[in-house]
Amino acid sequence: MNVRELTVPGTWELTPRQHPDERGVFLEWFTAPALRAATGRDLDLAQANASVSRAGVVRGIHYADVPPGQAKYVTCVAGSVLDVVVDLRVGSPAFGRWDAVLLDTRERRAVFLPEGVGHAFMALEDGSTVVYLCSSGYAPAREHAVDPTDPEIGVEWPTTGPDGRALVPSFSAKDAAAPSLREALAAGALPRADEVEAFVRTLRG
């Protein structure tokens, strides 16, 4: 598996080696040793999620209170999505920075993001199916969102899909009403980088 750290510290792109033959293809889209070699930590699996979205759907930017936060290991098993990570850790040198990876069924990449980092994606095709492994279960009281169209973050959402058709972004009511990064910061709703790092250190042993 080839690994590459993204510009948001602690987030990684992982590209598996594929083994095609006349029957199809086989790959290991997640291995604990590869993740540990890249990040120095394990992913304690508490929940596995799947979402199916039509073209243009944007989910996020989502994050959870730390501790325990929610680390995620994400891939796309049908269609394609632009997967986005945003540094929401107050005090991080990269605070407010975002990076993105195309997840599709050609390269079959995955993205790992640690606790305290925001996550979002846009479906580029109808039926785009994203699956993700989570380090903690869903807890509504600890789940939050930041406006995915916040110009201060400036995520460059695609305007056309792989087939050349125009993409019309659509959002859930919750995500459309989410506060901006500046508003979330002023409300004290964002995770602190030092607290996140202290928590992650306990996971590394």
Rounded Cα distance between 70 and 116, Å, is 8
Among candidate residues 62, 63, 73, 144, the one labeled active-site is 62
For the question of residue 132 being annotated catalytic, the response is: yes
Longest alpha-carbon distance in the chain: 57
**Closest by CA position to 13, among listed 25, 29, 27, 26:** 29
Place of tokens 């995955």: 110
CA distances from 107 to 17, 162, 195 (A): 9, 14, 35
Distance CA 20, CA 202 (A): 40
**63, 73, 119, 132: the active-site residue:** 132
- Residue 73 designated active-site: no
CA 119, chain centre distance (Å): 4
Phi and psi at 67, nearest 5°, equal -75, 160
Give catalytic residue positions.
62, 132
